[in-house]
Structure 1
Amino acid sequence: MSKKSVCIVGSGNWGSAIAKIIGENVTQHSEMFESRVNMYMYEETFEGQKLTEVVNREHENVKYLPGIKLPENVVAIPDLVEASKNADLLIFVMPHQFVRGTCKTMQEHIKDSALAVSLIKGFDTAADGSFLMISKMIEDILSIDCCVLMGANLAPEVAEEQFCETTIGCKTEEQGELLKSLFEKPYFRCSVVMDIPTIEMCGALKNVVAIGAGIVDGMGLGHNTKAAVLRLGLMEMVAFGEHFIDGCKEETFFESCGVADLVATCHGGRNRLLGETVVKSDKTIRQLEKEILRGQSFQGPLVAKDIFKVLSQKNMLERFPLFTAIYRICVREMDPKDFINCLRHHPEHL
C-alpha cells in the first residue's frame, strides 16, 4: 500500500490541536503516511508579519493556540489548492459557513481517490426548510467519501494532552482502521461508529444547548438548573434526530459525540461563554465575536438560526421550545430572564 499524504483544511485552535496529533501520528506510522502534513491557513497579519511565516518559523499557532508547539512536519500554506492538490486525506476543520466556498475552490484540483474527514460542527439549510449535513456537502461538491470526527474535545485540553474520547463516523471498517491510526493517541481515545449522520448532528446541536447552559450561568443560577438544560436539550437533540435523520441510532447519543460532548461544551466551551455574555451584555453576537474570539466564530448561534429556519418551515417550533428560545435570545427577540419559563413549561414528551 502506498503511503498516504494528509492535508488539514483549516487552522484555528481546533485545527491546530488536531494538527499536533496528526503531525505526530504520521511520523509514528511512517509505513502508512507521508511525513509532511500540509495545513491550509487563511493568511492574516500578526504583529506586522504573515501568520503562516510565523507559524512555520516558531512551529506554533501564536494567534489561535498560543503556547502549544506543533510538530515541525506540519507546514502552514496560505494557498488552498497548493496545500490540498496531492492529498489522499483531507481533514476539514473550519467554520461551517465557509465550507461550500472552500470546496468549490478545491473541486477541480484534488485526487479522485481522496478521502475527506469533517470535524465541522454545523449544517447548511435551504429555503424550503431542508438541511444538508456538512459531510454530505463535501461529498456532493468534491465527489469523494467523507467521514466525520466529533466528541468531547475542547481544543486547549486536547492540545495539553489531557485524556479524552472522540467518535469517528465511517462507512467501512477499512476507513475506520485508517483514521484510527491517523487520530488515536494514548490521551485521545477513538471509537469507530457506522452512523455518520447522527454523529454529525450531535456535534452541531450540542453547541445550541451550550448557549442555554451559559444563559443559566449568566443569570447566576446553579448546577441543578444547568442539569435541567442538559437533560431537556438532550431530549430535543434525540427528537430532532429521530424526526430528521433516516436510520438515527439511539445508542449513538451515548458515544463521546453525544452526551459527553454535550456535558463538556455546556461546562467549558466557547458557546457556553457566549450564553453567559449575552445575559450580561447588550452587544450583538458579531461584536462579542470580535471581543472574545479574536476573529473566530461562535458556531452555536449560526446552528440555532438554521434549526429555527427548519422548524419554522415544518411548523414544529412548539415541539422544540429550548432550541427556539435560545435562538430568540441570541437575536434579542426574547429576554434571557424568560428562559426559565421555557424550562418550567417544557413538555415531557416530544
Structure 2
Amino acid sequence: MSSSTAPKKIAIVGSGNWGSAIAIHIGEKVRKLKGQYDEKILMWCREETLDDGSKLTQVINKQHENVKYLPHEKIPDNVIAEPDLCESVKDADVLIFVIPHQFVKKTCDQLKNKIKSTAFALTLIKGFYVDEQTNDLMLVSQLIKNTLNIPCVCLMGANIAHEVAEKIFCEATVGSRDEKHSEIVRQLIDTPEFRLRFYPDVEIIEMLGALKNVIAVCAGFADGLKAGFNTRAAVLRLGFREMVNFCRLLEKESTPELYLESCGIADLIASALGGRNYNGAKKLAETNKSLKEIEKEDLNGQSLQGPGTAKEVYRFLEAKNLLDKFPMFRDAYLICEQKLEPKKLLENLHNHPEFQQK
C-alpha cells in the first residue's frame, strides 16, 4: 500500500480531562471509518505517580480510564497512553494538541524536526502567548506552525469534557483554510452528538477560545459578590464586547456571524455557567483566598487558564496603551493578582467605554 493510501495515523498530544474526552470520541469514531485511519491512537500522557504508587499511563492502559483527570469515563482500548512524547507522535499524520497553553512552546521545542513533513496539526488549546521582549501576541496555532513547520487548524467551542465523553449534544467551530484538512477534521470528530461548523478565521476563532476564559473569571467574581442577574448579564455582554473588540485589533472577521457561533457566545455562556475559571474566581471573591490556594484545594493538579490569559492580555494592552478601552480585561488581571478588590470590577462597569457617547 502506498504512503498516500495507507491509513492515516492519529496522535493526541495531551491527556487531561479535555484530552481524554476527545480521545474517547475520536477513538470510537475511527473504528467506524474502516481503512481510512489507523485504529490505534497514541495519546501522549505526561507520566505521573498516583497516590497508590502506580503509574498513570499504566493505569489508563489497564483500566481504560483516566482515573485522575476524567474518572468514570471509559476510554476505548484502541487509545494507548504513551509517556514518551516523541514516540507518541512518531509517523503521525494528524497531531491533535490538547495541553495547557503554557506548555505548548516547551512541548513543540521537543518535537522540532521529529514530525512528518506531510502532517498537519489541530489545536484544541485555549490560550496564547505574549512575547516577553516585544509584547507581540502569538497564537498557539502560529507557535505550532512556526516550530514544527506544519499547518495548524483550530477547534473551539462550548465543549465541557465530561459531557463530550458522555455524548451529551454539543457543537464546535473549526478554523481552517484548507479543504482537505477540514474534511479530515469532519471525519474524525463530526457526529450527530458533536456537530461542527467551519470558517476560515483561524486566528479569531482561536482568540475567542482564549479570551472567554478571562470573561468567565469576571462572571465568577460577579457571582461571588452576589451581584444581581441584571448586573451579571451586563458583565457577560460587556465582556463579550471586549472579546470582539480585542479580536478586531488584530484581524478582520470574514463575517460578524462568527461571534454568534459556538466558539464565541456559546463558549462564553458555558464557561460562565460553571467552568473551572468561573468557580475559581467565585471562590476568590467569596473567600479572598489566592488563586494558587484555590487551585491546590479544588483542581487535583490542574490549573486555571483564565488568570494566565488575563496576564497575557493585560501585558499586550498595556504595551499598546489600551487598558482603559478594555476595563474588564484590565480588572480581571489585577483582581487575579490581588492588586484590586473584586468589587471594583462591578463599580467600573458604570463608566465602561460602551456607555460613552460616540
TM-score normalized by the length of structure 2: 0.95
Please provide the CA RMSD for this pair: 1.2
Aligned to 1:324: 330
Q: CA deviation at 1:337?
A: 1.4
Q: How many angstroms apart in 1 are the aligned matches of 2:83 and 2:75?
A: 17
Summarize deviations over 1:247-297 as a string: whole Å, max 9, x none: 564221111100110111110211110110111223322222121111111
Letter in 1 for 2:94: L
Partner of 2:319: 313
CA offset at residue 244 of structure 1?
Answer: 1.8
- Which amino acid is 2:159 matched to? N
Give 1:112 shift: 0.7
One of 144, 150, 169 as aligned partner of 1:163: 169
* Cα distance in 2 between the residues matched to 1:64 and 1:223: 33
Amino acid across the alignment from 1:326: A
- Match of residue 187 from structure 2: 181
Question: Are positions 1:282 and 2:291 aligned together?
Answer: no
* Residue 45, structure 1, aligned to residue 39, structure 2: no
- 3-state SS of the aligned residue for 2:354? coil
Unmatched 5+ stretches in structure 2: none
Q: What whole-Å deviation, never above 9, does each CA across 1:309-338 have from its counterpart, x for those lacking one? A: 000000000000011011110000111112
Q: What is the aligned partner in structure 2 of residue 11 from structure 1?
A: 15
Tell me how far 1:4 sits from its aligned partner: 0.6
AA at the equivalent of 1:170: S
1:151–1:165 Cα contact (<8 Å) kept: yes
Q: Cα 1:242–1:349, aligned 2, differ >3 Å: closer, same or farther?
A: farther
One-letter code of the match for 2:22?
A: I
Name structure 1 gaps, 5 residues minimum.
Answer: none
Q: Which residue of 2 aligns with 1:81?
A: 86
Cα distance, 1:64 vs structure 2: 0.3
Equivalent position of 2:258 in the other structure: 252
> 8 Å contact 1:23–1:71 — kept in the other structure?
yes
The aligned residue for residue 129 of structure 2 is 124
Matched residue, 1:340: 346
Superposition pairs of residues 187-202 of structure 1, within 5 angstroms: 187-202=193-208
Distance between the aligned counterparts of 1:248 and 1:222, measured in 2?
36
Is 2:78 aligned against 1:66? Answer: no
1:128 Cα offset (Å) = 2.2
- Taking the aligned partners of 1:22 and 1:261, their CA distance within structure 2 comes to 21
Asked if the contact 2:314/2:329 (under 8 Å) is kept, the reply is yes
* Separation (CA, whole Å) in 1 of partners of 2:128 and 2:323: 18
Which deviates more, 134-143 or 186-195? 186-195
CA distance in 1, matches of 2:23, 2:176: 20
**Is the Cα–Cα contact under 8 Å of residues 271 and 299 in structure 1 kept in the other structure?**
yes
**Large movers: runs of 4+ above 3 Å:** 246-249
Does structure 2 retain, via aligned residues, the 8 Å contact 1:202–1:257?
Answer: yes
Question: How much identity, in percent, do the aligned residues show?
Answer: 47
Q: 1:56 aligns with which of 56, 61, 76?
A: 61
The one-letter code sitting in structure 1 at the alignment partner of 2:85 is L
In 2, Cα distance between the equivalents of 1:303 and 1:255? 21
TM-score of the two chains, using structure 1 as the length reference = 0.97
One-letter amino acid of the counterpart of residue 134, structure 1: V
Deviation per residue, 1:174-222 (Å, 9 max, x gap) = 2111101101122111111111001000000000000010011111223
- Which has the larger displacement, 276-285 or 7-16? 276-285
Residue 41 (structure 2) pairs with residue 32 (structure 1): no
Structure 1 position 223, deviation (Å): 2.5
